[in-house]
């Protein structure tokens, strides 16, 4: 089941939340900053042992003070106009996060709109990629949440879900 929710991903009681991180995995602004603040300083200490993360790949950490058991960090592509492999890299973020979740017995997972903030990916195009990737995994999870940070983003996701169901 794919559920669209509007709110702060750090508050969600799911097995894993996904972080839209950067290659260092050492924190930043946006959802990354919010996750590090809510998880506490142990997340940074832990992530220092991970050796960073390539764009399109994913790494897993404990959730520390979060309600979620795990943080799965993935690094989305920076939008450069769409001709530099951005769609495939963005798809890889979702697929690699979902595969890593399955390998860790995660049954419920929540995603933010990877790359749709500072990294500048057009939200409508990103939503189609996100929903399609999630749909390929619905039978292997109890719940996949698309966590939107505004009602406008949630409306967009619901529209895409209807068009692609
Ligand atoms: N809960 C859910 N969604 C959120 C939250 C939140 N608490 N806060 C922001 N969003 P961004 P990116 C949404 O910029 O584009 C960081 O500095 C936000 O509205 O966080 O992948 C990293 O360290 C947007 O739709 O991530 C990287 O350097 C979405 O999350 C860089 O930003 C993603 O926006 C990554 O950029």
Instruction: Tell me if 29 CB under 6 Å of ligand 1.
Output: yes
The band of 159, judged by pLDDT with boundaries at 50, 70 and 90, is: very high
Say whether pLDDT at 165 is over 90: no
Is pTM, for the whole model, over 0.75? yes
Q: Tell me how far the alpha carbon of residue 38 lies from the centroid of ligand 1, in angstroms.
A: 14
- The mean pLDDT of 115-120, rounded to a whole number, is 98
Instruction: Tell me if 25 CB under 6 Å of ligand 1.
Output: no
The pLDDT tens digits of the residues spanning 62-107 come to: 999 999 999 999 999 999 999 999 999 999 999 999 999 999 999 9
The three-state (H, E, C) secondary structure of 65-113, written as one string: CCCCCEEEEEECCCCCCCCCCHHHHHHHHHHHHHHHHHHCCCCEEEECC
The pLDDT tens digits of the residues spanning 5-43 come to: 999 999 999 999 999 999 999 999 999 999 999 999 999
Mutation to probe ligand 1, out of 9, 73, 110, 117 (largest number of atoms < 8 A from CB): 117
Reference 64, options 42, 97, 35, 32; nearest CA is: 42
The band of 125, judged by pLDDT with boundaries at 50, 70 and 90, is: very high
Active centre residues (catalytic)? 32
- The mean pLDDT of 134-154, rounded to a whole number, is 98
Residue 74: C-alpha distances to residues 11, 20, 25, 151, 162 (Å)? 19, 6, 9, 24, 26
Say whether pLDDT at 137 is over 90: yes
Mutation to probe ligand 1, out of 8, 11, 30 (largest number of atoms < 8 A from CB): 30
**Collapsed DSSP state (helix, strand, coil) of residue 17:** strand
Q: Tell me how far the alpha carbon of residue 26 lies from the centroid of ligand 1, in angstroms.
A: 14
Q: Tell me how far the alpha carbon of residue 114 lies from the centroid of ligand 1, in angstroms.
A: 7
What is the pLDDT of the chain when averaged over all its residues? 98
Separation between Cα atoms, residue 1 and residue 137, nearest integer Å:
9
- The mean pLDDT of 45-64, rounded to a whole number, is 98
């Amino acid at each position: 089941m794919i559920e669209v929710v509007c709110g702060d991903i750090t508050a969600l009681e799911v097995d894993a939340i996904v972080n839209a991180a950067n290659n260092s995995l050492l924190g930043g602004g946006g959802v990354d900053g919010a996750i590090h603040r809510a998880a506490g300083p142990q997340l940074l200490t832990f992530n220092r042992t991970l050796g960073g993360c390539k764009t399109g790949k994913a790494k897993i950490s404990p959730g520390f003070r979060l309600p979620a058991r795990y943080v799965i960090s993935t690094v989305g592509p920076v939008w450069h106009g769409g001709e530099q492999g951005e769609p495939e890299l963005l798809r890889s973020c979702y697929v690699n996060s979902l595969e890593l979740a399955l390998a860790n017995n995660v049954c419920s997972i929540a995603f933010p709109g990877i790359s749709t903030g500072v990294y500048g990916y057009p939200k409508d195009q990103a939503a189609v990629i996100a929903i399609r990737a999630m749909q390929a995994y619905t039978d292997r999870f109890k719940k996949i949440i698309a966590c939107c940070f505004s009602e406008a983003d949630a409306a967009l996701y619901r529209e895409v879900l209807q068009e692609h169901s």
